[in-house]
Amino acid sequence: PDDLPQALRHNLPEWLVPPLEAQLAEGFWPLVHSLAQSATLDLRVNALRDKRRAVQEELAAAGIAASPTPYSPWGLRVTGKPALGRLDALARGAIEVQDEGSQLLALLLDARRGEMVVDFCAGAGGKTLAIGASMRNTGRLYAFDLSAHRLDAMKPRLARSGLSNVHPAAIAHERDERVGRLAGKVDRVLIDAPCSGLGTLRRNPDLKWRQSAATVRELAARQASILDSAARLLKPGGRLVYATCSLLREENEAVVEAFGAAHPDFAWLDAGELLERLKVERARSLCSGGASGSAYLRLWPHLHQTDGFFAAVGVRKG
């Protein structure tokens, strides 16, 4: 393999190579090698109903080896790719398949009992369910998405989760009147924005050939619009988490920095410090950027054995 031309060795579209090399330098080739490996199979234990250790023992009794994830307090990493469909733990809502990085996004939102919370781009609801459990099934949790079909996929998962505080709602666009009614009323908002998905190439290796520099620019404009609309929901002191599963700065830091420059009423918090308060192991090793070096959550497959994720945490000044 070392004798092959570089383009064949990295097996990436040429437009994608310069921004990744600029961000990673010597880490570029370790990332390339990690993207050629299979992704791990991670589970999230439903903290509303079960304890991680008890579920781990239940899986072991079923012949499935699993170990606690290194960062998420809710996660179990399964050895191999066993069939999970017939497990009682899945049927009763004790577990959900969810990458550890995705679990950390819900953890970073740190939703509390009795709050009003919005998952702005909820999709099939993986993070919605994690947030609802962290709220201990209290308060009100809105799950917004443009796709009613994707929200429908949440229904069986929601039913078995035991949550009754989740309210799915399909919206026409980010400025839908349902969104407008909540302006200035919400305690916390999670925006897992539509993105290029380049952090998930271990699961979707063909995705890189279906994106381009032009589509990334279009996505960045859409992300900025969604962030602007979702931020209006927050009351003074409310927390916002902007996240993507993209590897590219254009969809991540650049979007956040442009928003911050245009909205002096928002301040950005240090993600590393927040994760330390949440007792996440080696929290600052999961983060990068800013004067502290840990301003943003920045997960890489080759460093953290998760999908690639970015998250920034903001607060509306009171």
Active-site position among 121, 195, 245, 287: 245
Task: Judge contact between 108 and 241, C-beta under 8 A.
Answer: yes
Tokens for 65, please give them: 């080896």
* Residues present in the chain in total: 318
* 287 a catalytic residue: no
φ, ψ of residue 105 to 5 degrees: the values are -65, -45
Strand order in the sheet with 66-68: 66-68, 75-78, 41-45, 95-97
Q: How far is Cα 227 from Cα 10, in angstroms, rounded to an integer?
A: 33
- β-bridge partners, 266: 316
φ, ψ of residue 148 to 5 degrees: the values are -65, -30
Residues noted as catalytic: 245
